[in-house]
Structure 1
């Protein structure tokens, strides 16, 4: 059956997944990582900058009649709401219309919204485009994670996914340092510096867009959606490029899969697949996202208040402390990522969650006993988040690889939305009051809540984590379109 858009639906047998998985690491893969992965740096930059410029925006002469609470409260909530709704909306479109169309559209939405935020002339304008910035970023998570998993060989998928998701913290570190510079009124006027921080995000995004234009559509998505000729052409080109670079022929791909091609999957079938066919995996995804959301909010919502209130750190220098914490966050996935592919998913996911939760309990005890300084408190947070960041990144890896191909982007979007909503809505309600109260016991309670949920998620992983290391995506979860018994 043919369609006017060049697709033809039928039953095909293909070796595309096996051909992609047997590729050695090459320049072709670096192009994918740079084109798709670098957007996390933008997200980290975006979130951190807004948190750090809140005090400047609320000052007279900033150009916006806005309060500190409105920036960190309502504007942050709108960004979160945008991210959740963008993930679900674009996640559905990504599974329906392909990865490439959507990862170009979502980045364009982010760029336009960020540029218009920099031009804010009134409070409602600022709020509106904070929502749409989040809307674009949320869509990015679904489109990008699904594309990366489907293009990166199974041998490297874990570490690449972890490092890319962890690169958020490079952006956070840059955002913390950038805001110190941009808020220096000796360099930039009050009403210009904060606008330039958003403008830098636009410049970085445009560079990423130029690289991203060369990233191919996912051949895995193509052959299921009636574009098997295009899928084979992309893999042929990648193989030719890799053989030329390595100077040797590639071994023959062995495993083939037979697919009943289809144009789209309905919402009801996606929901039924996630919750009826894979209830343990759905429970795992839910637990991992909630655990990391609460641990991060327990620390990041209160870190500035705690440093200022309990350790007499100047509010103007908290950005330096945050840069140190952010660096610790990035090192976790960078240094531990390889172990998720070698030691395996279950021990590493469960281990990073349980260990980071236990370390946060220890930090709460030391803080409650009054034995920490600003420097040792920051060091404790760094150690906790070194392990927590690898765990949190593995939550994205997990939900992007344990469900069938046709539901992948929607599954990522669903669990991302749950985690982001829990962290961005419940987090401020629960933690901001506890960490800002100035009472040691309240901050200890906040830490213990985050630690307990992280440990609980780790225990769920002990029983439910899927040993997906070095396995083809089609072996981890058989595509819905696969013909029964015809994978060989």
Structure 2
């Protein structure tokens, strides 16, 4: 048991170590839940256009190019949002960024519900994407900052388990609402409105979050960092929890052992110097593997989630059947995230990312060549289940690659590349589906996931159970 007294103030340098020695507290569980519900609306948004693609095609008489633009617009907006809000979070704080990104998303998602034309729909999807684009990287950075190292993977997996409930939610809600016109308004418009109104509720809850003590210490706001850390320690003592002495610096681990002749990292550098910092000798290998991970992950992840309804149409199922099968398949998303909870802190994350990516490649090929509804649903369910083990592991893994002062900006820059790839996917994968069929489509996806698995396994460092770095 630690001998410090309630309310004792520790030196600023010990804030990160004191946070990592904490047990799991009710505050940690509350934070995880609030972040998870916010992620639910991010997942809802990411899968909304793909789920409704065939419906919008008939409602707006969309051309082939229009369909691609509708699918791409939200991801293109997320590309810019991830970069802008990542920089904002490192400069002004995680909490402020959380509140701004949800407010922007809510407004423009609601505006999309009133779209009179395809141009309006594309514009509002793009702007809503700017708002929601940094949701996952902000969540990853915040949770990596505030959760104890020993429990970080498991709790972040719980947050994503809650979040991934948004994927079957949009599928099931679409299956229910699309054939209807409540109060004379087309069902698909209600789907946009529901996303907007739900995120307003989350915005209210997020006002109660505290700022990251690690970030506060990193930017010199030491008094606030000390006060928040001491409050968490006092909560542990009130619950009768043991507080071991704060551990030493993890000098054996390459993610946290900085060369002594390098200057400390500085948050929110101008983009040129910042990119030079990312590709300095210290960060180069991490940056290369993180960028390849983010560039290729969307080929498998969003390639399936966005195009699965179209693959089912190509197999001869009508719109309502396709929505029903998609909703059943999408149940695998929260189940997979739940499966990741016990695996996250027991299996090295580098290996978990590589193995689950390989599983996605194999399940996708099975989905492509499945000939009966039962086989289609079974292979699709396995795909979504494995893909969310992959997603949960890769999000925690990415958040662990950089120190606190640049964590949101660096991981946000890497993550933004996934959105750029996702925006390009309709223009790349739809022609493959149209001309080569589901088999060629999923052979392409399998090749991308195989390359990703090899890159992570060969280039990435071990991260499971290690403290995240606070210093540059």
TM-score > 0.5 by shorter chain: yes
**Mapping for residues 428-439 of structure 1, pairs under 5 Å:** 428-437=426-435
Distance 1:265 1:302 in 2: 38
Report Cα offsets for 1:201-260 as digits up to 9, x if no partner: 12211221122111110111101111010001111112222332x234533324379998
Q: Are positions 1:232 and 2:237 aligned together?
A: no
Are the aligned partners of 1:301 and 1:431 in contact in 2 as well (CA < 8 Å)? no
Distance 2:269 2:192 in 1: 38
**Mapping for residues 315-394 of structure 1, pairs under 5 Å:** 315-361=319-365, 363-364=367-368, 367=369, 372-394=371-393
Are the aligned partners of 1:265 and 1:406 in contact in 2 as well (CA < 8 Å)? no
Q: Which residue of 2 aligns with 1:153?
A: 148
- Residue 190 of structure 1, CA deviation: 5.5
Are the aligned partners of 2:350 and 2:462 in contact in 1 as well (CA < 8 Å)? yes
Distance 2:204 2:144 in 1: 21
Report Cα offsets for 1:57-112 as digits up to 9, x if no partner: 4556xxxx563756632222221111000111111111111111111111111111
Q: Are positions 1:253 and 2:246 aligned together?
A: yes
Question: The residue matched to 1:473 in structure 2 has which SS?
Answer: coil
Are the aligned partners of 2:51 and 2:309 in contact in 1 as well (CA < 8 Å)? no
Q: Which residue of 1 aligns with 2:190?
A: 196
Query: Aligned match of 1:453 in 444, 448, 451?
Result: 448
How many pairs were matched up? Answer: 450
Q: Are positions 1:136 and 2:131 aligned together?
A: yes
Distance 1:81 1:152 in 2: 31
Are the aligned partners of 2:16 and 2:214 in contact in 1 as well (CA < 8 Å)? yes
Question: The residue matched to 1:156 in structure 2 has which SS?
Answer: helix
**Which consecutive residues of structure 1, in runs of 5 or more, have no partner in the other structure?**
1-11, 481-488
Q: Are positions 1:313 and 2:313 aligned together?
A: no
Q: Which residue of 2 aligns with 1:4?
A: none
Question: The residue matched to 1:155 in structure 2 has which SS?
Answer: helix
Distance 1:19 1:330 in 2: 32
- The 1:269/1:337 distance shift into structure 2, 3 A limit, reads farther
- Residue 135 of structure 1, CA deviation: 0.2
Are the aligned partners of 1:75 and 1:127 in contact in 2 as well (CA < 8 Å)? yes
- The 1:442/1:340 distance shift into structure 2, 3 A limit, reads same
- The 1:128/1:392 distance shift into structure 2, 3 A limit, reads same
Report Cα offsets for 1:95-136 as digits up to 9, x if no partner: 111111111111111111122222334444333221111001
Q: Are positions 1:17 and 2:16 aligned together?
A: yes
- Residue 315 of structure 1, CA deviation: 1.3
Report Cα offsets for 1:246-292 as digits up to 9, x if no partner: 23453332437999897754434432332222222122212222332
- The 1:314/1:58 distance shift into structure 2, 3 A limit, reads closer
- Residue 450 of structure 1, CA deviation: 0.7
Question: The residue matched to 1:467 in structure 2 has which SS?
Answer: coil
Q: Which residue of 1 aligns with 2:301?
A: 296
Alignment RMSD, CA only? 2.7
Q: Which residue of 2 aligns with 1:479?
A: 471
- Residue 381 of structure 1, CA deviation: 2.1
Q: Are positions 1:284 and 2:279 aligned together?
A: no
Are the aligned partners of 2:219 and 2:405 in contact in 1 as well (CA < 8 Å)? no
Q: Which residue of 2 aligns with 1:100?
A: 95
- The 1:309/1:195 distance shift into structure 2, 3 A limit, reads closer
Report the TM-score, using the length of structure 1 for normalisation: 0.85
**Which consecutive residues of structure 2, in runs of 5 or more, have no partner in the other structure?**
1-10, 251-257
**Mapping for residues 389-468 of structure 1, pairs under 5 Å:** 389-425=388-424, 427-437=425-435, 442-468=437-463
Distance 2:13 2:465 in 1: 20
**Mapping for residues 170-185 of structure 1, pairs under 5 Å:** 170-185=165-180
Distance 2:249 2:154 in 1: 26
Report the TM-score, using the length of structure 2 for normalisation: 0.87
